[in-house]
Amino acid sequence: MDDHTLIPAPRTIHPAPARSAPSALTPATTLHTTPDTEPLAALLRATVGAATGLGLSAGDAGADRVVLRVDPGIARRHGPEGYRLSTDRSLEDVAVLIEGGTPAGVFRGMQTLRQLLGSDAFRRAPLHPPRDARWELPGVTVEDAPRFGWRGLMLDVARHFMPKDGVLRYLDLIAAHKLNVFHFHLTDDQGWRIEIKRYPRLTEVGAWRGRTKWGHRASPLWDEKPHGGYYTQDDIREIVAYAAERHIRVVPEIDLPGHSQAAIAAYPELGNTDVVDTAALSVWDTWGVNPNVLAPTDTTLRFYEGVLEEVLDLFPEDVSPFIHIGGDECPKEQWQKSDVAQDRIRELGLAGENELQSWIIRHFDTWLAARGRRLIGWDEILEGGLAPGAAVSSWRGFGAGVAAAEAGHDVVMCPEQYVYLDHRQAAGEDEPVPIGFVRTLEDVYRFEPVPPQLGPEAAAHILGTQANVWTEVMENQSRVDYQTFPRLAAFAEVAWSALPAPADRDFAGFERRMTAHYRRLDALGVDYRPPAGPLPWQQRPGVLGRPIEGAPPNR
């Protein structure tokens, strides 16, 4: 069946025999679940039920049922997120049958059901009275499973804070695209966004900056309005629970030893006090690589152990097996000038500042492993030697990921050249605050996460892939939407579907399916970039970006 509009594309989709009676959801449709799938009933009623106005009340008999159940055989054949969806009444006398290898697989099948129902199934309320509604379904059988177990989106809420409701909305959006990892970038030089009760100044001071650079850091423009915000611990618990209901893992990021000026502004003793007057530092108000990094002291180690103790309590192991500690863009100049840092290097017998950073990363790798978690960091954690159990987010191209995989480390591929969604989507001057490389929808669609030079053993260490959304020039939800969509739809297909080699991918076919998908995004209220270019209110005329093709942009 070549005329489907599903995104991401399924492994197989077969039409029902012509003799099969058509399926539909009607006011008589009931919902049958098992103990494994009962928690999914509320989600189906909150999405499909809300959009259609149908009650989908519980029911065990009748041909109008929607049946959700787990089939261990699917897990054996296709893995835990595999599923089989059928609206073919000749196979089983129900309106819709969704079977998954686990409840997560059933949930992925539910997203396919929404797409089969049409774009109005993505609305929050019915457009017409539901009394006599009949929601027709094509007669099909879909068998599907993801290519990668890690299909992620990283959202930076440190540079520009996104209120809790916006985060919950993004969890719904990534779930609708069958992504399953939410990388939550919570701390940076420009803001600390998570409440830590034993260190209240992290949010009292570190969550707020006095003004904000408007555009690229070379821009002469400033937004003089104070900016900030943070998530209370109960907010975090709500976000984590919301993600878990949608079978999304959450990877919290607490950045160290670089990207830490917000923490140092709150607690000056964390910085290199013998080199810099850290008491005079405030939360950073511009962009780029910051020279103010954490001091390699026992005080710093104990402080961040205290932070991480509360983080581990807020992000339980079943939802958050990985903890991201950043590790990127840590200038070494202050350590080179610091007697304290140089004494630590000599005390530990290290070769220099790169090994000093590695010592910090290894400390937290050991600390996290003792508590049943795994450390993951940006690929700079390879410098000076990588901790044995650590995983790598390969962002500076593919080289670091290749080296890590060949050395036996797990890797998430997120090279900026393809999947940094803050980069501009076209070369036109009307792109809002143009940053970095031009990466079009087609460029993202032709991204291949597994480098061809990897042998089978090393390729098995590629956990999957992730798109990253850095928000320096995204001041609100609308700007995040514009940069993220529609490219996230292309990325989702790369991460989920078994696509051919990049040059052989049917981008024209994907664009045809996107015609239907734009209507879904409209129904979801996503302020995406239209195919013809930005609308007038999506532009930012006169705000300086960094449109340098071929030069890697500093975050």
Phi, psi of 93 (to 5 degrees): -80, 65
Residues in the chain: 555
C-alpha triplet 219, 166, 373: angle, nearest 5°? 95
Choosing from 32, 227, 259, 461, which is the catalytic residue? 259
CA dist., res. 341 & res. 273, Å (int): 11
d(CA 420, CA 483): 9
Known catalytic residue at 329: yes
302 Cβ contact list (under 8 Å, min separation 6): none
- pLDDT tens for the chain, 555 residues: list them: 456 999 999 999 999 887 777 899 999 999 999 999 999 999 999 999 999 999 999 988 777 899 999 999 999 999 999 999 999 887 788 999 999 999 999 999 999 999 999 999 999 999 988 777 899 999 999 999 999 999 999 999 999 999 999 999 999 999 999 999 999 999 999 999 999 999 999 999 999 999 999 999 989 999 999 999 999 999 999 999 999 999 999 999 999 999 999 999 999 999 999 999 999 999 999 999 999 999 999 999 999 999 999 999 999 999 999 999 999 999 999 999 999 999 999 999 999 999 999 999 999 999 999 999 999 999 999 988 887 789 999 999 999 999 999 999 999 999 999 999 999 999 988 999 999 989 999 999 999 999 999 999 999 999 999 999 999 999 999 999 999 999 999 999 999 999 999 999 999 999 999 999 999 999 999 999 999 999 999 999 999 998 755 544 444
Radius of gyration from C-alpha coordinates of the chain: 24
Instruction: Please give the Cα distance from 342 to 219 (Å, whole number).
Output: 37
| Alpha helices, H only, 82-221 | 103-117, 164-176, 201-204
Token duo for residue 512? 């045809």
Q: Tell me if residue 75 falls in helix, strand or coil.
A: helix
What pTM value is reported for the model?
Answer: 0.97
The full DSSP string for 182-224 is EEEE-EETTEE-B--TT-THHHHTTTEES-EE-SSTT-S-EE-
C-alpha dihedral (9, 12, 18, 23), degrees to nearest 10: -60
pLDDT at 2: 54
Residue closest to 513 by CA, chosen among 1, 8, 20: 8
Contact of 375 with 325, CB cutoff 8 Å: yes
CB atoms within 10 A of CB 516: 15
Residue 279, number of CB atoms within 10 A of its CB: 11
β pairing state of 411-413 and 391-394? parallel
**517 assigned to active site:** no
In DSSP notation, 337-370 reads H-HHHHHHHHHHT-SSHHHHHHHHHHHHHHHHHT
In angstroms, the CA 73 to CA 82 distance is 10
Question: What residues pair up with 84 in beta bridges, in sequence order?
Answer: 99, 143
81, 99, 188, 195: the catalytic one is 188
Peptide bond into 432 cis (omega under 30): no
User: Given 36, 245, 285, 329, which residue is catalytic?
Assistant: 329
Chain centroid to Cα 349, Å, comes to: 39
Task: Fill in the DSSP letter of residue 503.
Answer: G
- Catalytic (active site) residue 160: no
The one-letter code for the residue type at 525 is G
Distance CA(370)–CA(364), nearest Å, equals 10
| CA-to-CA dists, residue 127 to 121, 142, 350, 410, angstroms | 10, 28, 67, 47
User: Is the Cα dihedral 77, 78, 83, 84 positive or negative?
Assistant: negative
Contact status, residue 74 vs residue 83, Cβ threshold 8 Å: yes
Q: What is the pLDDT of residue 7?
A: 98
Between CA 218 and CA 74 the distance in angstroms is 54
With CA atoms as reference, report the closest residue to 439 among 459, 463, 414: 414
Nearest to 145 by CA among 77, 88, 196: 77
The predicted pLDDT at position 92 comes to: 81
Handedness of CA 379, 469, 238, 148 (dihedral sign): negative
Residue 327 pLDDT? 96
Extract the tokens encoding 41.
Answer: 């009933």
